[in-house]
Amino acid sequence: MVVYKTIDEANQAVVNKMIAGSPFLLDVVPAHTVIDEFNHGKLLLHAGPPITFDKMIDPVQGACIGAALFEGWADNEDDARQLLESGEVQLMPCHHVNAVGPMGGITSAHMPLLVVENQTDGNRAYCTMNEGIGAVLRFGANGPEVIERLKWMRDVLGPVLSLALQNREPLNVNVLVTKAIAMGDEFHQRNIAASLAFLKEMAPTIVGLDIEEDKKQAVIQFLADTDQFFLNVMMASAKSVMDGARQIQEGTIVTAMCRNGYEFGIRIAGMGDEWFTGPVNTPKGLYFSGFSEEDASPDMGDSAITETFGVGGFAMIAAPAVTRFVGTGGFDDALRISNDMTEITTTANPNFPIPTWDFQGISTGIDARKVVETGILPVINTGIANKRAGLGQIGAGTVTPPMECFEKAVLAYAKKLGFKGE
């Protein structure tokens, strides 16, 4: 085992692994075929650090109910809620089984998952597919149209994309990210370019498949309509790279950031699987007509894995079109935020240069020590959900983690190294 002489040396090794990561999209498969935990009783995965059903906010509970209906565990919302309150359904963070989930993050056994392999380290990561906009499970909606769409994704979208991916070379995600960052995506709020590039890659293969024409048409139409489709690919890719990097169990580089609507949690390389948590914040930003901060749900989702990797809020300067949408004020603010993020990261990743930033690479490797020392918190681009289940997205903005996550992580690592504190 390599022993690093200093924390900086360990951190550099973790970051080198991040830069060397090479995620490839291999397949789309039912969750229970790649996550064994689904095969031992009723289980739902959720976003963020561990949580119990009673502490979940309304949209996350709503998503759990939707997943129970989708799996056929109950026939109606009341029975589903009763089942979940009984404790019969095990709840587990997506992160604990090499997965990530957007917003509520709720993932069940028969949902199709994107399979991404980090070919540098040989590990895999998984994420559900983007459902589009409107009434969707990730915001807590669980009506008939939501369940029908989930069944269509299970029966048509997943199998068609799986077949298409089997009939072509594995999809090199880094190549798509490099293209799309030059086209104005930052991969959290804005994924339009990457989603179109994904469609461009997949459409010829889908058209050539020996399956019913209406299925091909429906899948291509769905991909064309879903501007955020690539976000979920990015999330699985970032997770695969971060899990590869955290094989080095030393140093203070942040390897995961996520939230469940109740707590924000981070992991650092030197503390392995341990979560350091603090109370979650509510995003600040712009609201759709008729909504205000009064209606907003506290922050949730595993999608902050994108910022952990170095895109999203960290690459705001790449996406001037998104700055007004997240309420940051425009180009100058985006530049300021991206510059600030260089103060708490280790290096720039040369694989992903940003044209609007004089071709500087994305800021990579959040150092928990630097966050505590500078007082600068990571900026996360996020959708804002209605605090009532099923009413969906009501705006977009930015959010920061609580400082105590980083303070706790640094203190715990200091103790591990033998420093005696108060």
Confidence at residue 331, expressed as pLDDT on a 0 to 100 scale: 86
Measured between alpha carbons, how far is 44 from 101 in angstroms, rounded to an integer?
11
Q: Is the dihedral of CA 172, 16, 233, 345 positive or negative?
A: negative
- Please report the pLDDT score of residue 322 as a whole number: 81
pLDDT of residue 328: 62
Give just the sign of the alpha carbon dihedral 356, 184, 392, 70.
negative
Residues in the chain: 422
Report whether 189 contacts 326 (CB < 8 A).
Answer: yes
Domains and their CATH numbers in the chain: 22-233 (3.90.1710.10), 249-414 (3.90.1700.10)
Q: What is the pLDDT along the chain (422 residues), one digit of tens a residue?
A: 678 999 999 999 999 999 999 999 999 999 999 999 999 999 999 999 999 999 999 999 999 999 999 999 999 999 999 999 999 999 999 999 999 999 999 999 999 999 999 999 999 999 999 999 888 999 999 999 999 999 999 999 999 999 999 999 999 999 999 999 999 999 999 999 999 999 999 999 999 999 999 999 999 999 999 999 999 999 999 999 999 999 999 999 999 999 999 999 999 999 999 999 999 999 988 888 999 989 999 999 999 999 999 999 999 999 988 877 766 678 888 899 999 999 999 999 999 999 999 999 999 999 999 999 999 999 999 988 899 988 888 888 899 999 999 999 999 999 999 987 65
**DSSP character at residue 128:** E
pLDDT at res. 420:
75
Q: What is the pLDDT of residue 326?
A: 66
CA 304 to chain CA centroid, nearest Å: 5
What single string gives the DSSP state of each residue in 252-286? Answer: SBEEEEEEESSEEEEEEGGGTT--EEEEPPPPEEE
Q: How far is CA 49 from CA 96, 278, 355, in A?
A: 9, 10, 35
